[in-house]
Amino acid sequence: MSASPAPPALARGPGLLLVVSTAVISGVSTFVNAYAVHGTNSDAFVTVRNVTVAAMLIPLALLARRELSGPLRAVDWGRLLLIGLIGGAIPFLLFFHGLALAAAAGGGLTASFLYRTLFLMATVLGVLYLKERFHPRVAVAAALLLGGNYLLLQLTSPIWTTGSLYVFAATLLWAVEYTISKRTLRDLPGGVVAMGRMGFGGVFLVAYLLLTAQVGAVAALSGGQWTWVLISAVLLTAFVATWYTGLRRVDLGIAASVLVLGFPITFVLSTLATGASLTLDQAVGVAAVVAGVVVAVGYSLLRDTWTFLTRRARTGLDPAA
């Protein structure tokens, strides 16, 4: 039982495009979630939203299941269960709790910056665990990505709080989960891994609500809050669907670096929503992040993606092309 990966020559270009799509969705989703979770019990919000996402992923998982040559093995179920626990459950609880605690203590910017180190953690784990190649340009890309986010956040002096530690723990768990998911994607299609993350994650979250007697918070959600839950769920469904399909075709370090594009997208949307304007430092920060992503991706993958796009433009949607 296994899913045959697409040949690298054909997969890398569309893989990068899928991950770029994930980054755009992430940027929009983070902006939306700032409004969606406001005034709700974050545990209830996350649980209902993630369970809804799992339901939305069922058709994709069924289609992806056709790629498999046999039933899932015990090791596959074990990996999916772990992905659900450390990717679809625990870090979501830690992240939203952490942001709220950090913001209340004046450490919101520090917590946000810590989350922005996810790409660095994932890159290191990709090299150590997945044996991905380390390119010297990674150091340049990391400096640009971290420096760009520093300028965007205008972080002058870190304020360390319990909330910051929660966010850091969530970030580390997501980096570990992405690493395990990348390994799992050698054997399983993206739709199955996405369903494992959100399906098992949803089960763990429901169990958590039951154990902490927070089920009543779900019933307390208003009609307007349910609308926000659905909007957020649609965005998260698009995120996991594109992310795991793209991650299967692109190195983890590169894919995680591309995700950083979501941060300036969120920042620009927030700036437009408040009627403010970008400062020079913030504009430089956006440019640095974009440059860092380009450096991380590298010439070879950019060339493959351009080749895919130009060929697709010539052949249209002909699957035999």
List pLDDT tens digits, range 50-86. Answer: 999 999 999 999 998 888 888 899 999 999 999 999 9
Is the per-residue pLDDT at 319 higher than 50?
Answer: no
Is the per-residue pLDDT at 179 higher than 70?
Answer: yes
Summarize the confidence of residues 127-146 as an average pLDDT. 92
Distance (Å, whole) CA 222 – CA 213: 19
pLDDT at 7: 44
Q: Are 123 and 264 in contact (CB under 8 A)?
A: no
Summarize the confidence of residues 118-137 as an average pLDDT. 93
Confidence of residue 320 (pLDDT cuts 50, 70, 90): very low
pLDDT at 321: 46
- CA 170 to chain CA centroid, nearest Å: 12
Of residues 113, 82, 254, 255, the one with CA closest to residue 177 = 82
Summarize the confidence of residues 211-217 as an average pLDDT. 94
- 209 domain-assigned: yes
- 297 domain-assigned: yes
pLDDT at 262: 93
Half-sphere exposure (Cβ direction) of 316: Cα atoms closer than 13 Å: 1
CB atoms within 10 A of CB 220: 12
- 311 domain-assigned: no
Count Cβ atoms within 10 A of the Cβ of residue 34 and give its class: 0-12 exposed, 13-18 middle, 19 or more buried. middle
Is the per-residue pLDDT at 140 higher than 90?
Answer: yes
Is the per-residue pLDDT at 232 higher than 50?
Answer: yes
- 314 domain-assigned: no
Distance (Å, whole) CA 266 – CA 258: 14
Residue position matching structure tokens 């440019």: 287
Is the per-residue pLDDT at 5 higher than 80?
Answer: no
In which domain, by residue range, is 282 found? Answer: 19-306
- 10 domain-assigned: no
Confidence of residue 316 (pLDDT cuts 50, 70, 90): low
- 97 domain-assigned: yes
- 312 domain-assigned: no
Is the per-residue pLDDT at 217 higher than 90?
Answer: yes
Distance (Å, whole) CA 13 – CA 15: 5
Instruction: Give Cα separations from 160 to 30, 105, 111 (angstroms).
Output: 22, 9, 8
Confidence of residue 10 (pLDDT cuts 50, 70, 90): low
pLDDT above 70 coverage of the chain, percent:
95
Contacts of 175 (CB under 8 A, 6+ apart): 118, 121, 122, 125, 256
Across the chain, what does the average pLDDT equal?
Answer: 90
Looking at 8-73, list the stretches that DSSP marks H as alpha helix, in order from N- to C-terminal side.
8-36, 42-65
Is the per-residue pLDDT at 236 higher than 90?
Answer: yes
pLDDT at 171: 97
Distance (Å, whole) CA 207 – CA 195: 18
How many structural domains is the chain composed of? 1
Of 1-15, 111-125, 185-199, 300-314, the poorest mean pLDDT is in 1-15
- 260 domain-assigned: yes
